[in-house]
Copies of this chain bind each other. A is one copy, B any other.
Amino acid sequence: MERTINTHTATKIGEEITVKGWVNARRNMGKIAFLDMRDRTGILQTVVVPAELDNASKDLVEGIRPEYVLEIKGIVQERGEKQKNDLMATGTVELLAKEIKVLAEAQTLPYELGSDIHMDTYLENLPFNLRSEKATAVFKIQSALIAGYRKKLDEKDFTEFQCPKIVAMATEGGANVFNVDYFGHKAYLAQSPQFYKQKMVSVFERVYTTGSVYRAEEHDTNRHINEYTSLDFEMGFIKNQNDVMEMIYSVIKSMMDEVKATCQDEIKLLEVTMPEFPENPPQMKLKEAQKVLEDEYGEKGATKEPDFEPHQEKLMGEYTKKKFKSDFLFVTHYPVEKRPMYTMPDAEDPGYTMSFDLLFRGMEIVTGGQRIHDYDMLVESMKKFKLDPKDFEYYLMAFKYGMPPHGGIGMGLERVTWQLLGLDNIKQATLFPRDRVRIDEPLSKK
């Protein structure tokens, strides 16, 4: 008999169906047992009355514990009005079990699934904890975010490409890279797909890529992970960075729209407030924003720094909400020395660049800008940054043979997820987080 998934049971009152899933919880009421059966679509209450079961099934019932995987044949029945209110989570129908098969047993659980646990315990038992309703909701939403990202870029005629992660040199300078032994040669794990996506602009004009990037940062805080998913795009024939800002804003809207369209239950469960998208998101130069920090929040000396402190990002988030009623703020024109060598300087504002960060509720989630497209200018910039153009010959080749004005962005998928859901730690928004002391299991165990 074909399997019925839990969300489809409500339309099958009186019918005999077969469900398959995990025992999310078991409750005994004298001789009757209630099994909350979980599948990918939700939870269904199953009533197990010995007299209704065939003989083989009767013998099984006592041994069934949470996380057993079962196949249950039974009759769908409406739940009483009182029960509907009692246990909303399990819906308006239940299954009266007739026949039970054990597809897989489960050992005694370390603790009840979904318990409030410390981060270390969460990571230690991750393959188990990911089954909890909350964790599942987080990564369902993450999946929707990336789908929404691709949807908008496909619509805008971008071409997806596959970007290598093993690289011969560090993209962004050389600090914080992981070394790989490549047949006896030194290689690195890419910190970003930057050089490749720029090369691809000369092939497809508009490109995007998604995949792992690496930062060998020693810090182990609630905002650090060492391998994360970077969503990147790059577009050619722009007038200036404003075209990039416009594009990323519409992309983020598409990401949030996809979450709204496909994750209503998850939004409710995690109590997420989805952002609004006013037509013209506020934007200001870094200098102006720092002036606000000094004048309105007493952050003395803010204007003398090349970037925000994390607590200042938060203050700017408050300010943006209060002043512009917006969750988003584009901060532009970071100083030349704070941005990579390929960043386009602003001809009209010497010392500053055509770059931006996008703050979402007081946290930077996107970094982007216009890039230098002129070969000679790029070579000069490398020299100013004390880099040897000889080391970049392969990258420079794209510029040697005609590169249009272009720009793009990089965005951390886990960071967006983390900030949207208001989670405590970015590791809760990272499926299998790698940190300073742990790759799945603690490194000290090795």
Interface residues of A (CB under 8 A from B): 3, 20, 22-23, 39-40, 67-69, 103-107, 109, 125-128, 130-131, 135-136, 139-140, 142-143, 146-147, 150, 154, 157, 159-168, 178-183, 185-187, 189, 196, 199-200, 202-206, 211-212, 214, 216, 218, 226-227, 229, 237, 373-375, 393-395, 397-405, 413, 431-432, 434, 436, 439-441, 443, 446
**Contact status of A178 and B178, CB under 8 A, knowing A104-B374, A106-B401, A165-B165:** no
**Contact status of A443 and B182, CB under 8 A, knowing A127-B398, A160-B143, A405-B103:** yes
By a CB distance below 8 angstroms, the chain B residues around A143 are 159-161
**Contact status of A404 and B69, CB under 8 A, knowing A20-B237, A227-B165, A373-B104:** yes
Most buried by B among A68, A107, A162, A214: A162
Most buried by B among A178, A203, A229, A403: A203
Chain A at the B interface: mostly helix, strand, loop or mixed?
mixed
By a CB distance below 8 angstroms, the chain B residues around A157 are 40
Q: How far apart sit A440 and B443, CA to CA, in the bound complex (Å)?
A: 32
Q: How far apart sit A434 and B68, CA to CA, in the bound complex (Å)?
A: 45
Q: How far apart sit A106 and B157, CA to CA, in the bound complex (Å)?
A: 26
- In the complex, the answer to whether A104 meets B40 with C-beta atoms within 8 Å is no
- In the complex, the answer to whether B397 meets A131 with C-beta atoms within 8 Å is no
| A and B contact pairs by CB, cutoff 8 A, 22 listed | A20-B237, A67-B401, A103-B405, A104-B399, A104-B405, A127-B395, A128-B397, A128-B398, A130-B199, A139-B203, A139-B204, A147-B160, A164-B212, A164-B434, A165-B165, A166-B178, A166-B434, A167-B440, A168-B439, A183-B216, A183-B443, A186-B446
- In the complex, the answer to whether B127 meets A394 with C-beta atoms within 8 Å is yes
Q: How far apart sit A105 and B130, CA to CA, in the bound complex (Å)?
A: 53
B160, B202, B399: the one contacting A131 at CB < 8 Å is B202
Number of identical monomers bound together in the oligomeric complex: 2
B162, B163, B214, B237: the one contacting A142 at CB < 8 Å is B162
Q: How far apart sit A147 and B186, CA to CA, in the bound complex (Å)?
A: 34
Nearest-Cβ distance from residue A102 to partner chain B, whole angstroms: 10
Q: How far apart sit A106 and B400, CA to CA, in the bound complex (Å)?
A: 6
- In the complex, the answer to whether B404 meets A104 with C-beta atoms within 8 Å is yes
- In the complex, the answer to whether A165 meets B393 with C-beta atoms within 8 Å is no
By a CB distance below 8 angstroms, the chain B residues around A373 are 103-104
Q: How far apart sit A401 and B135, CA to CA, in the bound complex (Å)?
A: 17
